[in-house]
Structure 1
Amino acid sequence: MTALQVIPVLVLWSVVGVRLLGLAFGWKPGILGAVFLVALAATLNIDPVYLAVDRYLGGWNLLNLIVHLLMGIGMTDLSRLLLRVTGRARRIKVLICVGAVLAAAQMVLLLISNTQGSAASFTDTFGDQPTIALYQGTFFAWFGMISGYTGVETLRRDRAGESRTFRIGFDLLSAGCFVGVAAAALKMFEISTEIRGGGENYDDALILGYRILLAAMVTGFAVGFILPTIGRIRSALRARAVRRSDLDALRPIVRRLMETSEGQRSMGAASISLESRTSKTQLYRWFIFIGDIRVLDPKLLSQQENRTIDEIGTRIEHHHSPARNTAASGV
């Protein structure tokens, strides 16, 4: 069953890798921190890793609490970011407050419980203790609650203007949330059987089912995040290619205008350089520089050069026009 833990972890780290790649395109960190925390928690929860690290920490299953806190913080932040993007973040502050209270309760419940002896199957080993049943129950109740709320609100979002990859990605995220609710419900059932003392008959089946659902949830989340990200990377690459072409078209115009008296007067304020770059700043400076000279002496530019500049100006204006499908820039 370790494979069912490892595969989702690899998928999560692939999302982290894709988001790190996005930083090279000037994106905001967005979900990077949240996914990193979830990926780290999932990594620490792999049975061999968990046993090795927890024994190093003293063998009191303190790592279970650490995993819960990392997962809780990461999932809460993911929910906050998703709901902010979709414009449905009406009650997220309430969920954050509930999560903070439950995190404090988790710490207290684990400290007053007897959890000596590292155990990867934590519920199976210690679930007959009322405090541990409550400890596990509160975490998975919150997990199911925030997953369900995020799934419902994401599904109810305004889809107007969404790109195809954005729409499919967020629908998969919503589906992943509902699978997470099913996983939490199954885990709650396992906890209830342990506290009643009848869980030994189907512990393995419950654990397997839970891990399958969790793997499906993580995969849905990963694909849901990666699809819009891939779309954004493609758009960024296309925009960079267009920007390079525009700069190549403007370079001879800028070089010629720099030698004119009007160009000499405008160069200082515009910080003009002919270095080969593909940055937006370079393009904007050149465009503003040429625009100033067009005002000072329109005759310095030919009809063809004016057409080229107008076309580039239209592209710049279109690139900065508000669009619904770019709302994910903060995710």
Structure 2
Amino acid sequence: MRKRNESVTVEHERAAAAPAPLDKGCSLRHSLRLPAADTGMKRPLGRRHGLWFRLRRLIIWLLGVYIAIPFLVKLCPAIQAKLVFLNFVRVPYFIDLKRPQDQGLNHTCNYYLQPEEDVTIGVWHTVPAALWKNARGKDQLWFEDALGSSHPVILYLHGNAGTSLCFSPFQVLSSLGYHVVTFDYRGWGDSVGSPSERGMTYDALHVFDWIKARSGDNPVYIWGHSLGTGVATNLVRRLCERETPPEALILESPFTNIREEARSHPFSVIYRYFPGFDWFFLDPITTSGIKFANDENVKYISCSLLILHAEDDPVVPFHLGKKLYNIAATSRSFRDYKVQFVPFHTDLGYRHKYIYRSPELPRILR
């Protein structure tokens, strides 16, 4: 009996240890349901971990670039010079500057002048509205002779990141009876040469002398916009020092000096509170020989001054134009001359370069 009982016990133990047979309606996948569920729980966690790892790497990389840029600018001051001039940005690009008539300017002539050896600058000359009809089809000599007519002349100095074509007020000033002469500094548009503050100022002086040689006693006004205000005050200071001042100086959206403008520029926002901001970003501009010190130049200018500035200017802050006006208004050099500041309210939406749209502009200029 004992042996039989032992045999039965062994059989029961073997039966208990053996795996239960699968039902016909039960699949292998169903039988392994719990392990499959465990795998499914781990997969999203792995994905989240991988995403966080990649995001962390991206943040570290961006932080490294952010820290490296100031050192790169400091070691290569030419980078800051490029950013000040932006002469490599040509908008619009696919334009033949030799043919202003393609832009509807049938009363405009294109010249090329040579201020220095190996430097050639492109010049546009638009005649007053009274001469529009006569100007069609005329050659360069006719346009040069027309400068001797009894009409005043405006020499316009444009800002960075553009060409003479970006000067939108052609029609407005021409309709008011002005000859309008503008040009691309060396390195801009189709002008040949490398940009520098000294070179830009010399180009402007050369064009001014070229105009005066043909306009006789007709009044000549200097109009500078944005970066062109720096060229304009450099030029007019020189003209006053040699006692040949223009009739008046018009500054549109001016700044005090290039350091203060660079500090206030929208591009500087992400680094403005970076330790050593001036040393990293502003000193390289000075090292490159770029100052455009309007606040110093106005102390040596002796002619009428008109400053135009929009309150909503996002590029050159309004307070810089106002500050420049206050410096000029208290300067001895303007004792006998009119100094005027004309603000344009934010609601007008003129921003940095649309003051010419103001219906009040003709009255202001008169």
Measured against the shorter chain, the TM-score band is under 0.3
Q: Which has the larger radius of gyration?
A: 2
Higher helix proportion = 1
**TM-score, structure 2 normalization:** 0.21
Higher strand proportion = 2
